[in-house]
């Protein structure tokens, strides 16, 4: 089986530090392998397992999940499909609680964050989580308490590297007073760039930027959507245009498109092979900057 993801290049989390962790830049987001509303088991558990294994066969070695996906379902599926991982980095997140389908609430109490990490370790079957990300900073809990317990867990060997999710540059810099942050994960795609300042900061400082919702909505990547003319020009699909644009946008960009469908998975992975010239990139960039 060909491994198109190899063509996405690599990025090293924690480069320059004592424990660098290289990964291929095009990863897989394991949120959509759960049930509707990111709640409960998938309709077809065997298919979810096949998707995960196929992603690795296609070259993916960076899989992003969270304890709240299901909740717990995504981590359980990942262990069933991929343990003992064999060089695949499993990044997970904690700090969001679930009250039902599509319902999320942050809880950043230190004892809860400690529980999140310990339970993810148990579910994934590891002794240390390669990349653990605070899913949201809880506004009801002092930040020093949240960052402090994460630092303690890292010192205790439970966490190898630390990331943040949905933060500003100021949030990142505040956390960096306590923690060595190797990645951030914010909503970002070709048509939604509210985190442009954060991306520029990460690019300048070598911090991994993991854009969630990298394909945007269905209208963006539809066959008659705004990316369709570029897809025709490049000989690929609109979804592949969206991912290729992200990969070209910054060397620290680590897209994690997710799906529960093997055909969509292959399409996403093959985006790593799309060759996008500077001129085409600039036209796409300008079109969406101006809207």
Strand order in the sheet with 181-187: 28-29, 62-64, 89-94, 129-134, 159-165, 181-187, 208-212
What single-letter DSSP state applies at residue 192? B
Please name each of the domains of the chain with its CATH number. 23-215+250-257 (3.20.20.100)
pLDDT at position 290: 54
Joined together, the tokens standing for residue 209 give 């930027």
pLDDT at position 1: 65
pLDDT tens string, the chain, 291 residues long: the values are 679 999 999 999 999 999 999 999 999 999 999 999 999 999 999 999 999 999 999 999 999 999 999 999 999 999 999 999 999 999 999 999 999 999 999 999 999 999 999 999 999 999 999 999 999 999 999 999 999 999 999 999 999 999 999 999 999 999 999 999 999 999 999 999 999 999 999 999 999 999 999 999 989 999 999 999 999 999 999 999 999 999 999 999 999 999 999 999 999 999 999 999 999 999 999 998 754
> Which residues are tagged catalytic?
69
**What pTM was computed for the model?**
0.97
CA distances from 2 to 60, 202, 258, 273 (A): 12, 32, 20, 11
CA-to-CA distance for 187 and 82, rounded, in angstroms?
27
pLDDT at position 226: 96
Residue 33 CB contacts under 8 Å (≥ 6 apart), including other chains: 42, 48, 51, 52, 73, 74, 77, 258, 260
C-alpha gyration radius of the chain: 18
Which is nearest to 213 in space by CA: 246, 256, 249? 256
pLDDT at position 268: 98
6 burial (CB, 10 Å; 0-12 / 13-18 / 19+) is middle
Q: How many residues does the chain have?
A: 291
pLDDT at position 291: 45
110 burial (CB, 10 Å; 0-12 / 13-18 / 19+) is middle
CA-to-CA distance for 107 and 140, rounded, in angstroms?
8
Phi, psi (degrees; rounded to nearest 5) at 271 = -60, -25
CA-to-CA distance for 172 and 175, rounded, in angstroms?
5
């Amino acid at each position: 089986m060909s491994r198109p993801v190899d063509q996405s290049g690599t990025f090293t989390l924690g480069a320059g530090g004592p424990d660098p962790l290289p990964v291929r830049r095009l990863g897989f987001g394991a949120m959509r392998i759960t049930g509707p509303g990111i709640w409960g088991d998938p309709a077809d558990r065997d298919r979810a397992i096949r998707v995960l294994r196929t992603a690795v066969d296609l070259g993916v070695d960076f899989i992003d999940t969270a304890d709240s996906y299901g909740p717990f379902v995504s981590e359980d599926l990942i262990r069933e499909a991929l343990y003992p991982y064999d060089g695949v980095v499993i990044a997970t997140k904690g700090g969001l609680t679930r009250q039902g389908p599509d319902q999320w609430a942050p809880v950043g109490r230190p004892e809860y964050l400690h529980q999140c990490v310990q339970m993810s370790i148990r579910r994934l079957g590891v002794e240390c989580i390669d990349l653990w990300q605070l899913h949201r900073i809880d506004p009801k809990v002092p930040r020093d308490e949240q960052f402090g317990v994460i630092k303690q867990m890292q010192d205790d060997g439970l966490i190898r590297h630390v990331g943040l999710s949905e933060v500003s540059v100021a949030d990142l810099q505040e956390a960096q007073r306590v923690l060595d942050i190797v990645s951030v994960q914010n909503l970002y795609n070709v048509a939604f760039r509210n985190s442009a300042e954060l991306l520029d900061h990460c690019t300048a400082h070598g911090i991994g930027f993991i854009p969630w919702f990298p394909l945007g909505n269905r209208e963006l990547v539809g066959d008659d959507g705004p990316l369709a003319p570029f897809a025709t020009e490049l000989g690929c699909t609109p979804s592949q245009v969206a991912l290729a644009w992200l990969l070209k946008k910054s060397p620290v960009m680590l897209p994690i498109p997710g799906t529960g469908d093997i055909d969509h998975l292959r399409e996403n992975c093959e985006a790593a092979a799309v060759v996008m010239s500077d001129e085409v990139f600039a036209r796409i960039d300008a079109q969406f900057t101006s809207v």
